[in-house]
Amino acid sequence: MTELVATTPGLFPLPDWAKSEFSELKGRQKADLISGDESDQVVSAYGRARAEVVDDQFEAGLDRIVEGQLRWDDMIAHPLTVHDNVETGGISRYYDNNNFYRNPRVVGELTRSGDVAADLSAALELFDDAAPLQAVLPGPHSLADLATDDHYGDDREFLSAVADFLAGEVESFPAHETLFLLEPSLVANPPGDDLAAAVPEAIDAVAGATDADVVVHTYFGALEEKTYAHLMDADVAAFGLDLVAADREQTVYNAVEYGVTGDVALGVADGQNTLVESAETLRERAEWFTEQVPATDFETVYLSTNTETFYLPINKHRAKLSALATAAGLDREVTA
Protein backbone atom coordinates (compact mmCIF):
# COMPACT_ATOMS: atom_id res chain seq x y z
CA MET A 1 0.00 0.00 0.00
CA THR A 2 1.28 3.42 -0.92
CA GLU A 3 2.09 5.79 1.94
CA LEU A 4 1.00 9.37 1.30
CA VAL A 5 3.21 12.01 2.90
CA ALA A 6 2.13 15.66 3.09
CA THR A 7 5.06 18.00 2.76
CA THR A 8 6.43 21.13 1.05
CA PRO A 9 9.62 22.29 -0.68
CA GLY A 10 10.05 25.02 1.97
CA LEU A 11 10.86 28.72 1.40
CA PHE A 12 7.78 29.99 3.19
CA PRO A 13 6.41 33.55 3.21
CA LEU A 14 7.34 35.70 6.19
CA PRO A 15 4.57 36.24 8.75
CA ASP A 16 3.04 39.70 8.31
CA TRP A 17 4.43 41.05 11.61
CA ALA A 18 7.92 39.91 10.59
CA LYS A 19 7.80 41.86 7.31
CA SER A 20 7.24 45.10 9.24
CA GLU A 21 9.83 44.26 11.89
CA PHE A 22 12.53 43.32 9.38
CA SER A 23 11.81 46.46 7.40
CA GLU A 24 12.78 48.45 10.48
CA LEU A 25 15.68 46.21 11.54
CA LYS A 26 17.25 45.53 8.15
CA GLY A 27 15.96 48.17 5.76
CA ARG A 28 14.75 47.53 2.23
CA GLN A 29 17.85 48.02 0.07
CA LYS A 30 20.09 45.46 -1.61
CA ALA A 31 22.84 46.06 0.94
CA ASP A 32 20.38 45.30 3.75
CA LEU A 33 19.70 41.72 2.72
CA ILE A 34 21.01 38.75 4.69
CA SER A 35 24.79 38.35 4.60
CA GLY A 36 25.37 35.83 7.37
CA ASP A 37 26.39 38.33 10.08
CA GLU A 38 23.02 39.53 11.31
CA SER A 39 22.60 41.51 14.52
CA ASP A 40 21.25 39.85 17.67
CA GLN A 41 17.94 41.66 17.12
CA VAL A 42 17.60 40.25 13.61
CA VAL A 43 18.58 36.75 14.77
CA SER A 44 15.97 36.95 17.53
CA ALA A 45 13.24 38.07 15.12
CA TYR A 46 14.02 35.25 12.72
CA GLY A 47 13.87 32.84 15.64
CA ARG A 48 10.35 33.98 16.51
CA ALA A 49 9.28 33.81 12.88
CA ARG A 50 10.78 30.32 12.53
CA ALA A 51 8.85 29.14 15.58
CA GLU A 52 5.63 30.46 14.05
CA VAL A 53 6.06 28.69 10.71
CA VAL A 54 6.98 25.46 12.50
CA ASP A 55 3.79 25.76 14.56
CA ASP A 56 1.83 26.38 11.35
CA GLN A 57 3.03 23.07 9.96
CA PHE A 58 2.10 21.14 13.09
CA GLU A 59 -1.31 22.82 13.17
CA ALA A 60 -1.90 21.91 9.52
CA GLY A 61 -0.87 18.30 10.17
CA LEU A 62 2.02 17.97 7.72
CA ASP A 63 4.06 14.77 7.85
CA ARG A 64 7.42 16.48 7.31
CA ILE A 65 8.47 19.72 9.01
CA VAL A 66 10.79 22.16 7.21
CA GLU A 67 12.72 25.05 8.70
CA GLY A 68 10.95 27.47 6.38
CA GLN A 69 14.04 29.18 4.94
CA LEU A 70 12.79 32.61 6.03
CA ARG A 71 16.36 34.03 5.94
CA TRP A 72 16.75 33.13 2.27
CA ASP A 73 16.37 36.66 0.88
CA ASP A 74 17.90 35.43 -2.39
CA MET A 75 15.64 32.40 -2.67
CA ILE A 76 17.53 29.18 -3.50
CA ALA A 77 20.74 31.12 -4.28
CA HIS A 78 21.05 31.81 -0.53
CA PRO A 79 23.68 29.16 0.37
CA LEU A 80 26.11 30.91 -1.99
CA THR A 81 25.17 34.54 -1.32
CA VAL A 82 26.25 34.20 2.34
CA HIS A 83 29.51 32.37 1.54
CA ASP A 84 32.82 34.08 2.34
CA ASN A 85 34.26 33.38 -1.13
CA VAL A 86 31.24 34.69 -2.98
CA GLU A 87 30.50 38.28 -3.89
CA THR A 88 26.96 39.35 -4.68
CA GLY A 89 26.70 40.98 -8.08
CA GLY A 90 23.78 42.62 -9.82
CA ILE A 91 20.11 41.90 -9.27
CA SER A 92 18.76 39.11 -11.49
CA ARG A 93 15.24 37.91 -12.18
CA TYR A 94 14.37 34.73 -10.28
CA TYR A 95 13.13 32.57 -13.16
CA ASP A 96 10.04 33.78 -14.99
CA ASN A 97 8.38 35.81 -12.25
CA ASN A 98 8.60 39.20 -10.57
CA ASN A 99 11.02 38.20 -7.83
CA PHE A 100 14.72 39.05 -7.90
CA TYR A 101 17.89 37.81 -6.22
CA ARG A 102 21.48 38.98 -5.88
CA ASN A 103 23.58 37.09 -8.41
CA PRO A 104 26.25 35.18 -6.46
CA ARG A 105 29.70 35.59 -8.07
CA VAL A 106 32.03 32.83 -6.95
CA VAL A 107 35.54 34.27 -6.58
CA GLY A 108 37.24 31.59 -4.48
CA GLU A 109 37.07 27.98 -3.34
CA LEU A 110 33.66 26.83 -2.16
CA THR A 111 34.32 25.52 1.32
CA ARG A 112 31.79 24.38 3.91
CA SER A 113 29.91 27.23 5.64
CA GLY A 114 27.40 25.60 8.00
CA ASP A 115 24.86 28.39 7.49
CA VAL A 116 21.94 26.13 6.54
CA ALA A 117 22.87 23.56 9.19
CA ALA A 118 22.61 26.23 11.91
CA ASP A 119 19.07 27.12 10.81
CA LEU A 120 18.05 23.45 10.73
CA SER A 121 19.44 22.88 14.22
CA ALA A 122 17.52 25.90 15.49
CA ALA A 123 14.32 24.51 13.97
CA LEU A 124 14.89 21.05 15.40
CA GLU A 125 15.30 22.49 18.89
CA LEU A 126 11.73 23.78 18.59
CA PHE A 127 10.13 20.36 18.20
CA ASP A 128 12.85 17.75 18.88
CA ASP A 129 11.48 14.34 17.84
CA ALA A 130 7.81 15.36 17.63
CA ALA A 131 7.90 14.99 13.81
CA PRO A 132 10.44 14.15 11.11
CA LEU A 133 12.63 17.06 9.96
CA GLN A 134 12.92 17.68 6.25
CA ALA A 135 16.03 19.54 5.05
CA VAL A 136 15.90 21.73 1.93
CA LEU A 137 18.74 22.79 -0.36
CA PRO A 138 19.06 23.92 -3.95
CA GLY A 139 20.13 21.15 -6.28
CA PRO A 140 23.64 21.49 -7.75
CA HIS A 141 22.52 22.29 -11.29
CA SER A 142 20.14 25.06 -10.21
CA LEU A 143 22.62 26.61 -7.77
CA ALA A 144 25.37 26.63 -10.40
CA ASP A 145 22.91 27.97 -12.98
CA LEU A 146 21.89 30.90 -10.75
CA ALA A 147 25.52 31.82 -9.99
CA THR A 148 28.46 33.29 -11.90
CA ASP A 149 31.77 31.44 -11.85
CA ASP A 150 34.84 33.67 -11.61
CA HIS A 151 37.09 31.05 -10.03
CA TYR A 152 36.81 27.53 -11.46
CA GLY A 153 36.72 28.49 -15.13
CA ASP A 154 35.02 25.36 -16.48
CA ASP A 155 31.30 24.54 -16.36
CA ARG A 156 31.78 20.90 -15.44
CA GLU A 157 34.36 21.69 -12.78
CA PHE A 158 32.11 24.42 -11.38
CA LEU A 159 29.13 22.05 -11.19
CA SER A 160 31.28 19.50 -9.38
CA ALA A 161 32.53 22.17 -6.95
CA VAL A 162 28.98 23.30 -6.20
CA ALA A 163 27.95 19.68 -5.59
CA ASP A 164 30.90 19.13 -3.23
CA PHE A 165 30.00 22.36 -1.41
CA LEU A 166 26.40 21.21 -0.96
CA ALA A 167 27.54 17.77 0.18
CA GLY A 168 29.69 19.46 2.82
CA GLU A 169 26.68 21.44 4.01
CA VAL A 170 24.60 18.24 4.26
CA GLU A 171 27.29 16.54 6.35
CA SER A 172 26.81 19.33 8.91
CA PHE A 173 23.03 18.87 9.11
CA PRO A 174 21.30 17.53 12.20
CA ALA A 175 19.34 14.29 11.86
CA HIS A 176 16.75 14.59 9.11
CA GLU A 177 14.25 12.20 7.54
CA THR A 178 14.24 13.60 4.01
CA LEU A 179 16.26 16.03 1.93
CA PHE A 180 14.57 18.01 -0.83
CA LEU A 181 16.99 19.22 -3.51
CA LEU A 182 15.23 21.98 -5.45
CA GLU A 183 16.03 21.84 -9.16
CA PRO A 184 13.83 24.29 -11.09
CA SER A 185 16.68 25.04 -13.52
CA LEU A 186 16.45 21.49 -14.86
CA VAL A 187 13.17 22.71 -16.40
CA ALA A 188 13.84 26.43 -16.90
CA ASN A 189 17.40 26.12 -18.21
CA PRO A 190 18.22 22.44 -18.80
CA PRO A 191 21.87 21.42 -19.15
CA GLY A 192 23.32 21.13 -22.64
CA ASP A 193 24.77 17.95 -24.06
CA ASP A 194 28.21 18.74 -22.64
CA LEU A 195 26.85 18.92 -19.08
CA ALA A 196 23.75 16.69 -19.00
CA ALA A 197 25.55 13.49 -17.99
CA ALA A 198 27.39 15.33 -15.20
CA VAL A 199 24.16 16.45 -13.50
CA PRO A 200 23.18 13.04 -12.05
CA GLU A 201 26.79 12.61 -10.90
CA ALA A 202 26.56 15.95 -9.10
CA ILE A 203 23.24 15.01 -7.52
CA ASP A 204 24.72 11.69 -6.36
CA ALA A 205 27.59 13.58 -4.72
CA VAL A 206 25.10 15.55 -2.62
CA ALA A 207 22.76 12.61 -1.95
CA GLY A 208 25.71 10.47 -0.84
CA ALA A 209 26.31 12.82 2.08
CA THR A 210 23.13 11.74 3.90
CA ASP A 211 21.33 8.56 4.88
CA ALA A 212 17.99 10.36 4.51
CA ASP A 213 15.62 9.85 1.59
CA VAL A 214 16.59 12.35 -1.10
CA VAL A 215 13.98 13.93 -3.38
CA VAL A 216 15.12 15.85 -6.47
CA HIS A 217 12.23 18.29 -6.82
CA THR A 218 11.71 19.84 -10.28
CA TYR A 219 9.17 22.54 -11.12
CA PHE A 220 8.08 25.41 -13.35
CA GLY A 221 6.90 22.81 -15.86
CA ALA A 222 7.89 19.46 -17.28
CA LEU A 223 11.42 18.22 -17.90
CA GLU A 224 12.62 17.89 -21.45
CA GLU A 225 12.74 14.25 -22.53
CA LYS A 226 16.55 14.14 -22.74
CA THR A 227 17.00 15.81 -19.36
CA TYR A 228 14.57 13.37 -17.76
CA ALA A 229 16.38 10.38 -19.26
CA HIS A 230 19.70 11.59 -17.82
CA LEU A 231 18.10 12.32 -14.45
CA MET A 232 17.07 8.68 -14.18
CA ASP A 233 20.75 7.87 -13.67
CA ALA A 234 20.71 9.68 -10.31
CA ASP A 235 20.63 7.37 -7.27
CA VAL A 236 17.88 9.06 -5.25
CA ALA A 237 14.66 7.94 -3.59
CA ALA A 238 12.30 10.16 -5.56
CA PHE A 239 11.84 12.74 -8.25
CA GLY A 240 9.56 15.68 -7.61
CA LEU A 241 7.32 16.42 -10.59
CA ASP A 242 5.16 19.46 -11.29
CA LEU A 243 1.52 18.46 -11.91
CA VAL A 244 0.21 22.03 -11.94
CA ALA A 245 2.02 23.43 -14.97
CA ALA A 246 0.24 23.23 -18.29
CA ASP A 247 2.64 20.70 -19.88
CA ARG A 248 2.05 17.92 -17.34
CA GLU A 249 1.19 15.50 -20.16
CA GLN A 250 4.92 15.59 -20.95
CA THR A 251 5.64 14.60 -17.35
CA VAL A 252 3.45 11.51 -17.68
CA TYR A 253 5.06 10.68 -21.02
CA ASN A 254 8.54 10.86 -19.49
CA ALA A 255 7.57 8.56 -16.62
CA VAL A 256 5.91 6.00 -18.88
CA GLU A 257 8.71 6.07 -21.46
CA TYR A 258 11.76 6.17 -19.17
CA GLY A 259 10.43 4.91 -15.85
CA VAL A 260 10.36 6.70 -12.53
CA THR A 261 11.88 6.40 -9.07
CA GLY A 262 10.50 4.00 -6.46
CA ASP A 263 9.00 6.93 -4.57
CA VAL A 264 7.69 10.10 -6.15
CA ALA A 265 6.94 13.66 -5.04
CA LEU A 266 4.00 15.24 -6.79
CA GLY A 267 3.55 19.00 -6.96
CA VAL A 268 -0.24 18.98 -6.76
CA ALA A 269 -0.93 22.38 -5.14
CA ASP A 270 -0.07 25.60 -6.95
CA GLY A 271 2.62 27.39 -4.94
CA GLN A 272 2.21 30.63 -6.90
CA ASN A 273 -1.58 31.00 -7.15
CA THR A 274 -3.74 32.26 -4.29
CA LEU A 275 -6.60 29.94 -5.27
CA VAL A 276 -6.68 27.25 -2.56
CA GLU A 277 -7.46 23.90 -4.13
CA SER A 278 -9.64 21.44 -2.19
CA ALA A 279 -8.09 18.31 -0.71
CA GLU A 280 -10.15 16.24 -3.14
CA THR A 281 -8.70 18.14 -6.09
CA LEU A 282 -5.17 17.54 -4.83
CA ARG A 283 -5.83 13.79 -4.51
CA GLU A 284 -7.39 13.68 -7.96
CA ARG A 285 -4.24 15.28 -9.41
CA ALA A 286 -2.07 12.67 -7.69
CA GLU A 287 -4.26 9.83 -8.92
CA TRP A 288 -4.25 11.29 -12.43
CA PHE A 289 -0.50 10.72 -12.46
CA THR A 290 -0.18 7.41 -10.61
CA GLU A 291 -2.96 5.72 -12.56
CA GLN A 292 -1.09 6.38 -15.81
CA VAL A 293 2.12 4.69 -14.67
CA PRO A 294 0.54 1.38 -13.55
CA ALA A 295 3.79 -0.57 -13.78
CA THR A 296 5.20 1.36 -10.83
CA ASP A 297 4.38 0.34 -7.27
CA PHE A 298 5.21 3.49 -5.34
CA GLU A 299 6.05 2.94 -1.68
CA THR A 300 5.80 6.63 -0.86
CA VAL A 301 4.02 9.47 -2.67
CA TYR A 302 4.87 12.92 -1.31
CA LEU A 303 2.04 15.42 -1.81
CA SER A 304 3.46 18.93 -2.07
CA THR A 305 3.09 22.35 -3.56
CA ASN A 306 4.75 22.43 -6.96
CA THR A 307 6.93 25.45 -6.09
CA GLU A 308 8.07 27.29 -3.01
CA THR A 309 5.23 29.22 -1.37
CA PHE A 310 6.98 32.52 -0.52
CA TYR A 311 4.94 34.07 -3.35
CA LEU A 312 1.70 33.67 -1.36
CA PRO A 313 -0.02 35.76 1.31
CA ILE A 314 0.46 34.05 4.66
CA ASN A 315 -3.23 33.08 5.01
CA LYS A 316 -3.29 31.38 1.59
CA HIS A 317 -0.01 29.63 2.36
CA ARG A 318 -1.46 28.23 5.59
CA ALA A 319 -4.66 27.13 3.83
CA LYS A 320 -2.60 25.23 1.25
CA LEU A 321 -0.65 23.46 4.00
CA SER A 322 -3.95 22.30 5.53
CA ALA A 323 -5.29 21.15 2.16
CA LEU A 324 -2.16 19.05 1.54
CA ALA A 325 -2.39 17.41 4.95
CA THR A 326 -6.09 16.70 4.48
CA ALA A 327 -5.45 15.29 1.01
CA ALA A 328 -2.87 12.85 2.36
CA GLY A 329 -5.36 11.72 5.00
CA LEU A 330 -8.34 11.06 2.78
CA ASP A 331 -9.54 7.47 2.87
CA ARG A 332 -9.28 6.82 -0.83
CA GLU A 333 -6.17 4.89 -1.83
CA VAL A 334 -3.90 6.09 -4.60
CA THR A 335 -3.75 3.45 -7.29
CA ALA A 336 -0.06 2.81 -7.83
Per the prediction, the chain carries an average pLDDT of: 94
Between strands 86-93 and 100-106, the pairing is antiparallel
Cα-based angle 166, 89, 272 (whole degrees, multiple of 5): 65
Average pLDDT over residues 143-159: 98
The pLDDT value given to residue 295: 63
pLDDT above 90 covers a percentage of the chain that reads 89
Q: Where are the domains of the chain?
A: 3-73+130-139+172-334
CATH code of the domain occupying 3-73+130-139+172-334: 3.20.20.210
The pLDDT value given to residue 33: 82
- Please say if the pLDDT value at position 335 is more than 60: no
Residue 330 — very low, low, confident or very high, per pLDDT cuts 50/70/90?
very high
Average pLDDT over residues 139-155: 98
CA distance 117 to 237: 22
The pLDDT value given to residue 333: 46
The pLDDT value given to residue 72: 97
Over residues 25-59, the pLDDT tens digits come to 887 676 778 888 888 999 999 999 999 999 999 99
Over residues 203-258, the pLDDT tens digits come to 999 999 999 999 999 999 999 999 999 999 999 999 999 999 889 999 999 999 99
**Residue 136: exposure state from Cβ atoms within 10 A (0-12, 13-18, ≥19):** buried
Over residues 98-116, the pLDDT tens digits come to 999 999 999 999 999 999 9
DSSP string, 85-150: TEEEEEEEE-SSSS-EEEEEEE-S------HHHHHHHHHHHHHTTSS-BEEEEE-HHHHHHHSEES
Residue 143 — very low, low, confident or very high, per pLDDT cuts 50/70/90?
very high
- Please say if the pLDDT value at position 23 is more than 90: no
**Lowest mean pLDDT segment, chosen from 15-24, 131-140, 198-207:** 15-24
Average pLDDT over residues 256-271: 96
- Please say if the pLDDT value at position 313 is more than 90: yes
pLDDT above 70 covers a percentage of the chain that reads 96
Return the exposure string of 187-208: e unless at least 16 CB atoms fall within 10 Å of the residue's CB, then b. Answer: beebbeeebbebbbbbbbbbbe
More confident residue, 335 or 271: 271
**Lowest mean pLDDT segment, chosen from 137-151, 267-281, 291-305:** 291-305
The pLDDT value given to residue 15: 96
